[in-house]
């Protein structure tokens, strides 16, 4: 029963966060900013891997490691908060299929 309540609470908080990101003006601006950061990191990562000539041999595990390193470096340089860094990491990791194309 305790895990169920925790799941309900976490689901409610995530739902509220997504509603805020999609309905408020500040939320839309934040979402757009996060997407811009993610697009920048993805483009830099793609260029780096293609320049190294190892892009044909890259696995999903190697890709995930490269994403984490790139996001960490970028977020330190831009002084991004941890929650934004985590969102960017998830967005860029979700681009694995586009990366292989």
> Range of 72's domain?
25-100
pTM of the predicted structure, to 2 decimals? 0.67
Q: Is the pLDDT of residue 91 over 70?
A: yes
- Is there a domain that residue 61 lies in? yes
Q: Is the pLDDT of residue 12 over 80?
A: no
- Is there a domain that residue 81 lies in? yes
Q: How far is CA 31 from CA 15, 61, 64, 81, 88, in A?
A: 15, 27, 22, 14, 10
Provide the domain count of the chain: 1
The pLDDT tens digits for 25-84 are 776 777 788 889 899 999 998 888 877 777 677 888 988 998 999 999 999 998 988 888
Mean pLDDT of the 8-31 span: 73
- Please indicate whether residue 3 or residue 79 has the higher confidence score (pLDDT): 79
- Is there a domain that residue 5 lies in? no
Q: How far is CA 43 from CA 11, 24, 95, in A?
A: 32, 28, 11
Q: What are the tokens at 55?
A: 């892009």
């Amino acid at each position: 029963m305790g895990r169920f309540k925790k799941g309900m609470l976490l689901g409610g908080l995530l739902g509220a966060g997504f509603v805020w990101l999609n309905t408020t003006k500040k939320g839309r601006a934040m979402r757009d900013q996060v997407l811009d950061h993610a697009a920048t990191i993805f483009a830099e990562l793609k260029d780096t891997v293609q320049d190294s000539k190892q892009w044909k041999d890259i696995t999903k595990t190697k890709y995930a490691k490269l994403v984490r390193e790139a996001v960490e470096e970028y977020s330190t340089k831009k002084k991004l908060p941890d929650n934004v860094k985590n969102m960017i990491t998830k967005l860029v990791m979700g681009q694995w299929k586009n990366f292989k194309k």
